[in-house]
A and B are shown apart, each in its own frame.
Chain A
């Protein structure tokens, strides 16, 4: 994961949660950031726009940390790059 990629993830979360970006780290948990289920849905919406991806519901169920979220986004970007057949 590049620093620039992590920065984009943190920015989306910080903007969505209306938090200063330095509060959001790759190791933050949703609990620490006060992210409830509706907040998480809002963040997913922001990530879809930022990375031009489609995040299926089943990919989202177990995500509780910023790192898990970043890993999920990375996987979806790779799948998209591999072509529509891989999605």
Chain B
């Protein structure tokens, strides 16, 4: 089986419109959380989110093309453009046919659907916009990426709620590792700031009224985010042969199902996914130095995740550095794992671990090193990126600092 390198990154989210801005803001520990501006929140219990500030399609798409692409898919294309340029891919007809696109999204273009449903249910209109279906479908991100670059290889979308991008990147990794694809463009995108969607989140009573404080005793829940993260995966040998920049290697992917509860997380399920990733990577627990946690800041997730880490890592848990970057980029649902995978890859490359921002007070139930508030210089050999979705479907990615 082939070793697989990450050779390109693309990011757009509350922390920045490219990878460099994203990383600089992350290691400054500066949250991108503030009052939601793209939806009317006057009748909502929460008012804050992690939006891409002042987003307009203008610099990225002409008006005609933008009409055909929901915001979530626009983000996917924007991040894909950066990743492709970053990896300096030179397209040939053969490469286009051997390239896979695997994207993740939780709600897809439901914001577009929300507008259409408002029109028919409340405005008394007898029709919705004819592009409602092609804009809403969750695979629109993958489709627009394929059209953007003329990529004709295997392309599909995975929707596993908050693990979507983790499952997507994991599949892409396995396809490149096995030889089923010579190159993969993978990640996730999301744009959930629409009134109907926000109301549904409000009803679950898991959204914080102020900010996101993972692992902090005074945490009040998650803060929704938006954006996209995309990465280029290719065989390490091929990357080195063409003189590509290598951020890190992706070395393992583990999945599990809790088979327990539709919303309550399970420490056993989380631990099984991490164990599966370590096994797939052929990495010992002691080789892991950093975990980018799922860390949603809900009452239920954080102690469960810490218990899972303790159960799997035993005494080594006390030596792990763990952070939740959701404290800064918010919970971007189907894009979350892609943003977090990018943060993990950059942490390995740059030997700096991003912090858990907004941390006030240790919680005895979350008493591991969560890198409170301040980034830390640290050489880490291997790292995990955890994603544990509603519905109990878990995805864990393992990355390693490249030895080359």
Q: B-contacting residues of A (Cβ < 8 Å)?
A: 36-38, 41, 44-45, 56-58, 60
- Given A37-B299, A41-B205, 13 extra CB contacts under 8 A: A36-B261, A37-B263, A37-B264, A37-B300, A38-B261, A38-B262, A38-B263, A38-B264, A44-B205, A45-B203, A57-B45, A57-B205, A58-B209
Q: How long is the Cα–Cα vector from A33 to B299 in the complex, in angstroms?
A: 21
Interface of B is mostly: loop
B267 CB, nearest partner CB in chain A, Å: 15
Which B residue sits closest to A45, measured CB to CB? B203
- Cβ of B204 within 8 Å of any chain A Cβ, yes or no, is yes
Q: How long is the Cα–Cα vector from A36 to B262 in the complex, in angstroms?
A: 11
B306 CB, nearest partner CB in chain A, Å: 18
Chain B residues with Cβ below 8 Å from A56 are: 45
Cβ-defined contact, A60 with B261, below 8 A: no
Interface string of B5-46 (1 = CB under 8 A from A): 000000000000000000000000000000000000000010
Q: How long is the Cα–Cα vector from A56 to B46 in the complex, in angstroms?
A: 10
A84 CB, nearest partner CB in chain B, Å: 14
Q: How long is the Cα–Cα vector from A23 to B221 in the complex, in angstroms?
A: 32
Q: How long is the Cα–Cα vector from A60 to B45 in the complex, in angstroms?
A: 13
Q: How long is the Cα–Cα vector from A41 to B263 in the complex, in angstroms?
A: 11
Which A residue sits closest to B208, measured CB to CB? A57
B203, B205, B209, B220 pick with most chain A CB within 10 angstroms: B205
Instruction: Pick from A36, A45, A57: contact of B209, CB below 8 A.
Output: A57
Instruction: Pick from B203, B209, B220, B299: contact of A41, CB below 8 A.
Output: B203
Q: A-contacting residues of B (Cβ < 8 Å)?
A: 45, 203-205, 209, 220-221, 261-264, 299-300
B363 CB, nearest partner CB in chain A, Å: 15
B260 CB, nearest partner CB in chain A, Å: 11
Q: Which 9 A/B pairs are nearest by Cβ-Cβ distance?
A: A38-B263, A57-B205, A41-B205, A57-B45, A41-B204, A36-B264, A37-B264, A45-B203, A37-B300
Chain A residues with Cβ below 8 Å from B220 are: 57
Q: How long is the Cα–Cα vector from A57 to B298 in the complex, in angstroms?
A: 13
Chain A residues with Cβ below 8 Å from B203 are: 41, 45
Chain A residues with Cβ below 8 Å from B264 are: 36-38
Which A residue sits closest to B207, measured CB to CB? A57
Selected A-B contacts with CB under 8 Å, 23 pairs:
A36-B261, A36-B264, A37-B263, A37-B264, A37-B299, A37-B300, A38-B261, A38-B262, A38-B263, A38-B264, A41-B203, A41-B204, A41-B205, A44-B205, A45-B203, A56-B45, A57-B45, A57-B205, A57-B209, A57-B220, A57-B221, A58-B209, A60-B205
Chain B residues with Cβ below 8 Å from A57 are: 45, 205, 209, 220-221
Chain B residues with Cβ below 8 Å from A37 are: 263-264, 299-300
Chain A residues with Cβ below 8 Å from B299 are: 37
B180 CB, nearest partner CB in chain A, Å: 39
B130 CB, nearest partner CB in chain A, Å: 35
Chain B residues with Cβ below 8 Å from A45 are: 203
Q: How long is the Cα–Cα vector from A36 to B209 in the complex, in angstroms?
A: 22
Which B residue sits closest to A41, measured CB to CB? B205
Chain A residues with Cβ below 8 Å from B300 are: 37
Which A residue sits closest to B300, measured CB to CB? A37
